[in-house]
Amino acid sequence: MSKRSHPTVIDLFAGAGLLSFAFQRSGFDIIQSVELDAAAANTYRANLGDAIRVGDVRRIHPLSQCDVLVAGPPCQGFSTLGKRNRSDPRNELCMEVVRWARRCDPSLIVVENVEAFLQAETWERLCNGLQRMGYETSAIVLNAVDFGVAQQRRRSFTFASQIGTPSVHKPRMKKCRTVLDAWTDLAPEPDGLNHHVSPAPSPLALARMKTIPPGGDKRDIMAAAPHLAPPSWWRVGCAVTDVWGRMQWDSPSNTLRTALQNPSKGRYIHPEQHRVISLREAARLHSIPDDWRFVGLPTQVARQIGNSVPPQLGRAVALACMRQLN
C-alpha cells in the first residue's frame, strides 16, 4: 500500500465523479481522474477538487502509482439497448485499463460497465491482459436496488487483484426503496430550485401522457388513443415496452439512462403528473445527495446522472476494496 495516510485511487472515464465520490467517502484519496467531457469534468471539479484532468485516457499518463485503479469505460458498444456493435471503436477504450495498470501497478482494479460487457470479446481480452500481468480476475453483477437505491439498475463489476478478491456486502433490507421513499420531503412539483426542473411537454406529448396510467407505457397510448401513435409504433408492435413509461409510487424506478428526460427513451414519466421526472427527482432515484453540485445544461446533467454509478452502490464496492487492502 502507498505511504500516504489513505489508500490512493486513480479513476479513468471518471464522468461527473460519482464513483470517485463513493471511494472518497469510503476513506480513499483520489489522486488522478480523467474525463473527456468538459461539462462532466466541471461537475467533478465543483464537488471533488482538482484531481480531474479533461482529456482522452489514451493520451494521458499516470502521475504516480496507486492502490486502486477504477474505470467506467463507455458502454454503448456493449449495451443491450445499443446494437452490440463488436467493432464499435469505443469498445477498445477499456483496454486502456491494461496500459494504465502496467504504469501505476495497483493492487486492485475495478471496472464498472453494463451487464452485457461480461459477454463481450473485449472483456475476455481485458481479463487475459490483466492475468498475464499476474492479476487474478473475477466479475459480479450488482443491482443498485439491493443497496438501498430506489432504482433497478444491474451493472457488472470486474475485479483484478494482486491481493485476493474483494467481497461486496449487501445491506440487510426489509423492502426495496421506492419512488415515494426517494422523493419524500421534495416539493411535489418542480420549483426550479436545485435542479428540480422538468421540461414542459409538447402538446402531442401531453396528450399521450394523459392516456398512460401509473405503471403504463406506450401500449396504453396505442390502445386508448391510436391516433396519437405514429406509424412506426404499429410497424414495430409492442417489442419495446419501457418507452413512454410511467413510474409507480410504490416501486423503485427502472434504470435511468442518459436521456432520462425524454419520454420516448424509457420509463421516465412522473407517477401521476403529466411530465417527465425532474433532474432532482432523478438524482434522488440515483442516491445522489442534494448537496452535490451539478454543472451544465439540463441534457448534460441528465447524462451525468444516467452515466454514473449510484453513490450508495459505489460505496459498497469501495468499502469492499478497503477491506481487502487492510
Ligand X SMILES: C[S@@+](CC[C@H](N)C(=O)[O-])C[C@H]1O[C@@H](n2cnc3c(N)ncnc32)[C@H](O)[C@@H]1O
Q: Which of 107, 287, 308, 312 binds ligand X (CB under 6 A)?
A: 308
Which of these segments, 219-227, 280-288, 289-297, 302-310, binds ligand X (CB under 6 A)?
Answer: 302-310
For ligand X, the closer CB: 221 or 260: 260
Residue whose entry in the numeric block shows the C-alpha cell 442516491 = 287
**DSSP, res 118:** G
By CB under 6 A, tell whether 300 contacts ligand X.
Answer: no
By CB under 6 A, tell whether 10 contacts ligand X.
Answer: no
Which of these segments, 7-15, 120-128, 162-170, 316-324, binds ligand X (CB under 6 A)?
Answer: 7-15
Angle at 215 between CA 214 and CA 221, to 5 degrees: 80
Q: Least distance from C-beta 271 to ligand X, angstroms?
A: 26
For ligand X, the closer CB: 56 or 191: 56
Q: Least distance from C-beta 58 to ligand X, angstroms?
A: 6
Rounded to the nearest 10 degrees, the angle between the axes of helix 18-25 and helix 38-48 is: 20
CA distances for 152 relative to 32, 92, 144, 285, 290, angstroms = 30, 28, 6, 10, 21
By CB under 6 A, tell whether 260 contacts ligand X.
Answer: no
Which of these segments, 1-9, 34-42, 98-106, 246-254, binds ligand X (CB under 6 A)?
Answer: 34-42
By CB under 6 A, tell whether 217 contacts ligand X.
Answer: no
Long-range pairs, 120-129, Cβ under 8 A, ≥24: 120/77, 120/78, 120/86, 120/91, 121/86, 122/77, 122/78, 122/91, 122/92, 122/94, 122/95, 123/94, 123/158, 125/95, 126/94, 126/95, 126/97, 126/98, 126/158, 127/158, 127/160, 129/95, 129/98
Type of residue at 173: M
Per the CB < 8 A criterion, the answer to whether 33 and 53 are in contact is yes
Non-local (6+) Cβ contacts of 191 within 8 A are none
For ligand X, the closer CB: 15 or 190: 15
Q: Least distance from C-beta 292 to ligand X, angstroms?
A: 11
By CB under 6 A, tell whether 19 contacts ligand X.
Answer: yes
Sort strands 8-12 and 68-71 into parallel, antiparallel or unpaired. Answer: parallel
> How far is 149 from 122, CA to CA, in rounded Å?
30
Q: Which of 8, 13, 97, 196 binds ligand X (CB under 6 A)?
A: 13
For ligand X, the closer CB: 161 or 308: 308
Q: Which three cell numbers stand for residue 159?
A: 475485479
By CB under 6 A, tell whether 41 contacts ligand X.
Answer: no
Q: What are phi and psi of 10, to 5 degrees?
A: -115, 135
By CB under 6 A, tell whether 309 contacts ligand X.
Answer: yes
By CB under 6 A, tell whether 110 contacts ligand X.
Answer: no
By CB under 6 A, tell whether 298 contacts ligand X.
Answer: no
Sort strands 108-114 and 136-143 into parallel, antiparallel or unpaired. Answer: unpaired
Q: Least distance from C-beta 97 to ligand X, angstroms?
A: 12
Which of these segments, 133-141, 159-167, 171-179, 307-315, binds ligand X (CB under 6 A)?
Answer: 307-315
Q: Least distance from C-beta 279 to ligand X, angstroms?
A: 15
Which of these segments, 139-147, 241-249, 272-280, 303-311, binds ligand X (CB under 6 A)?
Answer: 303-311
> How far is 152 from 285, CA to CA, in rounded Å?
10
Binding mask 48-87 for ligand X (x = CB under 6 A): --------xxx-------------x-x-------------
Give me the residues that bind ligand X (CB under 6 A), please. 13-19, 34-37, 40, 56-58, 72, 74, 93, 307-309
